[in-house]
Amino acid sequence: MERKSGSLCFQVASLFLLFLTALVAAKGQNPDRPRTFDVKHYAIHISFDRDKKIVYGDTTVELTPLSAPLNSVDLDAIGLKFSKVTMSPRESPLTYRTSDGQIAINLDRSYSPGENISLRFNYSITDPKKGVYFIDAEKAANKFQHPAQIWTQNEPEDGRYWFPSFDFPSDKATSEEFITVQKGEVAVGNGRLIDNVQNADGTVTYHYRMNVPHSTYLTSFVVGDFIKLSDKYKDIPLGFYAYADRRRVAGIAFSRTKEMMEDFEALTGISFPFEKYDQAMVAGFQDFDGMENVTATTLADTSVLFAEYPFGKPIVENLVSHELAHSWFGDMVTCKNWSELWLNEGFATFMEAAFREKAYGRANYIQTLIQDRDEFIADDAVSKNRHPLRNLSAKADNSLFDVTTYQKGGVVLHMLRETVGDAAFWKGVNIYLSRHKFDNVVSSDLQSAMEQASGQKLQWFFDQWVYAAGYPKLEVTWMNDSAPGGLKITVNQAQKSDGMTPAAFQFPLDVTLLTESGPVLQTLKITKRVESFTINEARPVKSIEIDKSEKILLKSVKIK
Ligand SMILES: [Zn+2]
H-state helical runs in 484-531: none
What is the side-by-side strand order in the sheet with 518-526? 518-526, 507-515, 541-546
Cα–Cα dist 436/430, whole Å: 10
Distance 321 CA to ligand 1 centre (A): 10
C-alpha of residue 323 to centroid of ligand 1, in Å: 6
Q: What are phi and psi of 371, to 5 degrees?
A: -60, -40
Question: Is there a contact between 426 and 269 (Cβ–Cβ < 8 Å)?
Answer: yes
In the CATH scheme, what is the code of domain 37-312? Answer: 2.60.40.1730
Taking the centre of ligand 1 as the mean of its atom positions, its distance from the CA of residue 235, in whole angstroms, is 25
Q: How many whole angstroms separate alpha carbon 491 and alpha carbon 526?
A: 8
Q: How far is the CA of 6 from the centre of ligand 1 (A)?
A: 15
Question: From ligand 1's centre to the CA of 322, what distance in Å?
Answer: 6
Cα(405) to ligand 1 centroid in Å equals: 10
Can you give the residue ranges of every domain in the chain? 2-30+333-465, 37-312, 473-559
User: Does the fold of domain 473-559 match that of domain 37-312?
Assistant: yes
Cα 495 to ligand 1 centroid, rounded to whole Å: 29
List, in order, residues 6 or more apart from 40 with CB less than 8 Å away: 62, 63, 64, 116, 173, 174
Other Cβ atoms closer than 10 A to 250: 26
CA of 204 to the centre of ligand 1 (A): 32
pLDDT of residue 433: 98
Q: What is the 190 CA–ligand 1 centroid distance (Å)? A: 18
Distance of CA 399 to the CA centre of its chain: 13
Please list, in sequence order, all residues whose beta carbon lies within 8 angstroms of the beta carbon of residue 190, skipping any fewer than 6 positions away: 175, 177, 208, 210, 214, 218, 219, 220, 221, 293, 294, 295, 296
Q: Determine the pLDDT at residue 396.
A: 96
Which CATH architecture describes the domain 2-30+333-465?
A: Orthogonal Bundle (1.10)
- Write the DSSP string, 317-371: HHHHHHHHHTTTBTTTBEESSGGGTHHHHHHHHHHHHHHHHHHH-HHHHHHHHHH
- The confidence score (pLDDT) of residue 5 equals 60
Among 93, 132, 111, 90, residue whose Cα is nearest residue 36 = 111
> Distance between CA atoms of 190 and 333, rounded to whole angstroms?
17
Distance 221 CA to ligand 1 centre (A): 18
CA of 355 to the centre of ligand 1 (A): 15
CA of residue 123 to ligand 1 center, whole Å: 31
* Distance, CA of 513 to CA of 520 (rounded, Å): 5
Half-sphere exposure of 111 (CA within 13 A, CB side): 22
Question: Residue 364 Cα, ligand 1 centroid: separation in angstroms?
Answer: 21
Measured between alpha carbons, how far is 225 from 184 in angstroms, rounded to an integer?
Answer: 6
Ligand 1 centre to CA of 379 (Å) is 18
Distance linking the first and last C-alpha atoms of the chain = 41
Span from the CA of 289 to the centroid of ligand 1 (angstroms): 9
Q: 319 CA distance to ligand 1 centroid (A)?
A: 9
Q: Ligand 1 centroid to 496 CA: how many Å? A: 30
Give me ligand 1 centre to Cα 342, in Å: 9
CA 438 to ligand 1 centroid distance, Å = 18
438 CA to centre of own chain:
15
Q: What does the pLDDT read at residue 481?
A: 75
User: How far is ligand 1, taken at its centre, from the CA of residue 326, in Å?
Assistant: 7
Give the residue among 178, 87, 163, 153 at the shortest CA–CA distance from 125: 163
SS3 letters for 106-174?
EEEEEECCCCCEEEEEEEEEECCCCEEEEECCECCCCCCCECCEEEEECCCCCHHHCCCECCCCCCEEE
120 CA to centre of ligand 1 in angstroms: 33
Q: Are strands 102-111 and 96-99 parallel, antiparallel or unpaired?
A: antiparallel
Specify the CATH class of 473-559 in words.
mainly beta
- Identify the pLDDT of residue 440: 98
Q: How far is the CA of 330 from the centre of ligand 1 (A)?
A: 8
The string of DSSP letters for 217-281 reads GG---EEES-EEEEEEETTEEEEEEE-GGGHHHHHHHHTTHHHHHHHHHHHHS----SS-EEEEE
Q: Cα(348) to centroid of ligand 1, in Å? A: 6
In angstroms, what is the span from residue 463 Cα to ligand 1's centroid? 24
Determine the pLDDT at residue 144.
87
pLDDT of residue 28: 56
Which parts of the chain sit beneath pLDDT 70? Answer: 5-28, 482-485
- Between the CA of 42 and the centroid of ligand 1 the distance, in Å, is 24
In sign, the C-alpha dihedral spanning 333, 336, 337, 343 is negative
Contact 496, 475 (CB under 8 A): no
* Cα-to-centroid distance, 2 and ligand 1 (Å): 4
Cα 344 to ligand 1 centroid, rounded to whole Å: 7
Instruction: For residue 388, report the distance from its CA to the centre of ligand 1, in Å.
Output: 18
* Residue 391 alpha carbon to ligand 1 centre in Å: 16
CA of 295 relative to ligand 1 center, distance in Å: 14
